[in-house]
A = this chain, B = another copy of it.
Amino acid sequence: MGLKSWFQIPKSSGFSLANIPFGIISTSSSSTPRAAVAIGDHCLDLKAFHAQNGFSACSQQVNDVFSQSTLNAFAALGRPAHRAVRKYIQDIFRDDTPHGSILKDNQDAQKTCLLRQDEVRMHMPMQIGDYTDFYAGKNHAFNLGCILRDPKNALQPNYTHLPVGYHGRASSVVVSGTPVIRPNGQVLEDPKAEVKKPVFKPCQRLDIEVELGAFLCKGNQMGQPIPISEAEDSIFGIVLLNDWSARDIQAWEYVPLGPFNAKNFASTVSPWIVLMDALEPFRSEGIKNDTELLPYLQERNPKSVFDIRLQFELIPEGGKPNVVSNTNGKDLLFSFPQMLAHHTIGGCPMNVGDMLGSGTISGTDTGTEGAMIEQTKGGKEAIKLEGGIERKFLQDGDTVVLRGVCGNEEDGLIGFGECRGTIMPAPKLFF
């Protein structure tokens, strides 16, 4: 049985008392971005709460971390601090709260600090120093390898030995709701032509990628790897990540140094960071790896990924929402701690606020693909939507919503909210 609250939290809400995710909000009456936690259909303005001495009974000193415009300073306090604050906020909202005078029985404080979510604007939760995108969704990597090469050589020889990844573009990471402008770029229309001559046009194969993103709360000095046994201490929390991808631009540009303009026009994250402690009950084993890993990648606890039900919904302009696929956070070959241990094994310095992307998460069955290129078999078979609408890739006006949730209503759902973006037409350029 989940925690009971004196506050009205709809049973179907992903922001139950078992969750308490952190984000950055602003309101029309107070446009300065500041920290909040989501609770049911509301959020608690932590800056206002702190100003009202709301944290006076909390074991953790929070000073001014919640009045800042990102969560970096709060994240930097470390996991014991996050745990103490989350636990305290749960205590504040519990039916049998020992701190009733602070919020439960304090109408003034409720008025000042509790805001309806539909009345706040969400901002990027953290300032990202560097963003790295991995490729640990083995089923996705295999599906893509089959499309680009063949099933026998779908995965490269290194694939099961290390979490393959590449450096992404931090400046292009945006928060849910930000419009996504279709990129223009170089495209090779006839890859089989003897003379390879690209044309310039708007991307015709605009795709999504269902991923999870992990934000770091702790870094390392250059040259000093983070051991895998300590890697989890460096992870602040998890968000949904849609790594929008221009497949036609990617196919032409990506040899030999990897994806570039195909990926750097936008990557969208959900606004509420779900803390690692909230995910603890949902630890799971990932995809089994038959390769014996080198010691620096070996985990003591094989349950190092999370059972998060993920959903990809597509809404054509003026049309109805269609669930295109359902996948799960378990479908990863490597965990975030493994990614972090690998990322730093050569000495690469990480900083608070850095983000790691998991790579696209796909299942093995039809309807569990984390990218349209997989479900359409490389753009050959259309996805059928309500009202006779079909899609191979995204059209202008399409809205994509990713969702993620753990657990059940009985114990309280742990939801990630939405990761949403609408496709805007490519700009018309004149030279």
Contact = CB atoms under 8 A, between A and B. Distances in A.
Given A158-B252, A183-B346, A183-B347, 14 more contacts: A156-B256, A157-B196, A164-B260, A165-B257, A167-B168, A171-B349, A171-B354, A185-B346, A223-B424, A225-B429, A246-B346, A254-B258, A257-B259, A265-B348
B186 A161 contact: yes
A225 B255 CA distance: 23
A172 interface: yes
Interface in A162-192: 162, 164-172, 174, 181, 183-186, 188
Copies assembled:
2
Contact-size category for A: 35 or more
Interface in A379-420: none
Contacts of A199: 294
Interface of A: 129-130, 135, 156-158, 161-162, 164-172, 174, 181, 183-186, 188, 196-200, 203, 222-225, 227, 246, 249, 252-262, 264-266, 294-296, 298, 342-343, 345-351, 354, 424, 427, 429, 431
Contacts of A295: 200, 431
Given A162-B253, A167-B264, A294-B198, A222 B349 contact: no
Given A171-B351, A181-B222, A222-B172, A260 B158 contact: no
Contact of A294 (B135, B186, B266): B186
A164 to B, nearest CB: 6
A430 to B, nearest CB: 9
A366 to B, nearest CB: 25
Which 6 residue pairs across A and B have the least CB separation, nearest first? A258-B258, A183-B346, A181-B223, A295-B431, A157-B196, A166-B257
B167 A261 contact: no
Given A171-B130, A222-B174, A223-B427, A181 B257 contact: no
Given A223-B427, A257-B165, A172 B348 contact: yes
Contacts of A168: 167
Given A166-B166, A183-B346, A158 B255 contact: yes
Residue from A183, A225, A346 having most chain B Cβ neighbours under 10 A:
A346
A174 B221 CA distance: 12
Contacts of A354: 171
Contact of A158 (B129, B172, B184, B198): B198
A253 B158 contact: yes
Contact of A198 (B161, B222, B262): B161
A184 B346 CA distance: 5
A159 to B, nearest CB: 9
Contacts of A350: 171
A257 B163 CA distance: 11
B256 A342 contact: no
Nearest to A181: B223
A169 B252 contact: no
Nearest to A133: B257
A431 to B, nearest CB: 4
Contacts of A345: 183-185, 261
Nearest to A229: B431
A200 B228 CA distance: 15
Contacts of A258: 166, 254, 256-259
A197 B293 CA distance: 10
A156 B257 CA distance: 11
A321 B156 CA distance: 42
Contacts of A427: 223-225, 347
A161 B200 CA distance: 11
Given A185-B345, A259-B257, A261-B348, A167 B169 contact: yes
Contact of A253 (B164, B169, B181, B249): B164
Contacts of A225: 184, 427, 429
A130 B424 CA distance: 25
A129 B157 CA distance: 33
A294 B184 CA distance: 12
30 contacts: A129-B170, A130-B169, A130-B170, A135-B257, A158-B188, A158-B196, A158-B198, A162-B186, A162-B253, A165-B257, A165-B260, A166-B166, A167-B167, A167-B169, A167-B264, A169-B348, A181-B222, A181-B223, A183-B345, A185-B345, A199-B294, A200-B294, A200-B295, A223-B265, A249-B346, A257-B258, A258-B259, A264-B343, A265-B346, A296-B431
